[in-house]
Amino acid sequence: MKLNTIKRAGRSHFVDMGPIRLRQPFPTQHIKMIDPFVLLHHYGPYEISETNNPFDLGPHPHRGFEPITFLVQGEQLHRDSLGNESVVKAGDVQWTTAGRGIIHAEGPTKELVKKGGTIEGIQLWLNLPSEKKLMEANYQHAKHEEFNVITSEDKKIETRIIAGELESMFGKIGTQTAVNAFMIEAKTGGEQFISYSNLHHGLLYLLKGKVIVNGVEGLELDKNQLMEFQQDGEGFSIKAGSDATLLFLSGEPIDEPVATYGPYVMNSQTELLEAMRDYQMGKMGFLPTS
């Protein structure tokens, strides 16, 4: 198997989003986006209590892309203008297709706030092509135990297939574009080769631990680092230097103009203005504050 060349690797830095301080692997000064992925945030771990709850996001709109949450620790309550209300637990994934518009709210459950606990997760913004930006909104919630899992030969690495395909096994989430999303849990010394299409842009983000990527010719990836691959191989290999958790993403580039403003991802400034107008006119629906 030909390994994909490593294009770049770097540490994710903290940014402030109102009262929330979180890591933002991209966009950065050097990486505008990794098409079709617009943004990646790693939030937490936050210690949540009745006196400390910064991660309580009230109703807000989205249009033109798919905001996705991979919850690593804790419990979050999701509510949206489609009428969905669900408790997302550690290991679960919520995949929202904003399309023409959706309003949602999320934050730690009241039970978690009351008893105290930890919240940690990944929020990903996945772009939609122009012909799907105004499609009907949709929401998918898949539980940790529902995903297909590939186990390495040495039994030390489990790859959970959130979306896409690996070794003829498929993800639980239905997607609008050609993408893979895998959550990888590795024990020290575990080795695995992960294959994916060379039509995709691919990236790895390490939430914890250390791994060697692509053997002696590759690089060591450390906690909170992002690695991006060239489109010149059939996949990559990992060897865990310690117990590690990784998120792998790949997708076919959409290769269209991207215009962003706040919670909207469109193709032009005109479309952004239309999104703001439609939200103000109530065309994205309504959601009570609580």
3-state secondary structure of 1: coil
What is the Cα–Cα distance from 20 to 10, expressed in whole angstroms? 22
Question: Token pair 């930890």 is at which residue?
Answer: 118
Using an 8 Å Cβ cutoff, are 102 and 96 in contact? yes
pLDDT for residue 1 is more than 90: no
How far apart CA 47 and CA 50 sit, in angstroms, is 10
Judge whether 66 and 139 are in contact, CB under 8 Å. no
Domain borders along the chain are 6-251
The pLDDT value recorded for residue 5 is: 96
Q: At a CB cut-off of 8 Å and minimum separation 6, what does 272 contact?
A: 259, 260, 261, 264, 266
Output the pLDDT for position 54: 77
Q: Give the pTM.
A: 0.97
Give the pLDDT score at 218. 81
Going by pLDDT thresholds of 50, 70 and 90, the confidence category of residue 207 is very high
Instruction: Compute the distance between CA of residue 13 and CA of residue 44 in angstroms, rounded to an integer.
Output: 13
Exposed, middle or buried: residue 51 (CB in 10 Å: 0-12, 13-18, 19+)? exposed
Q: What angle do CA 141, 144, 146 make, to 5 degrees?
A: 80
Task: For residue 290, give the amino acid letter.
Answer: S
Q: Residue 73: exposed, middle, or buried by beta-carbon count in 10 A (0-12, 13-18, 19+)?
A: middle
Decide if pLDDT at 290 tops 90: no
DSSP assignment letter at 27: S
> Could you give the percent of the chain with pLDDT greater than 70?
99
- For residues 172 and 67, what is the distance between their CA atoms, to the nearest angstrom? 17
Asked whether 112 and 135 are in contact (CB, 8 A), the reply is no
Contact assessment for residue 267 and residue 257, using Cβ atoms and an 8 Å cutoff: yes
Rounded mean pLDDT, 279-288: 92
Q: Which CATH number fits domain 6-251: 3.40.50.2300, 3.40.50.2000, 2.60.120.10, 3.20.20.10?
A: 2.60.120.10
Burial class (CB in 10 A: 0-12, 13-18, 19+), 145: exposed
* Helical segments of the chain, H only: 110-115, 269-280
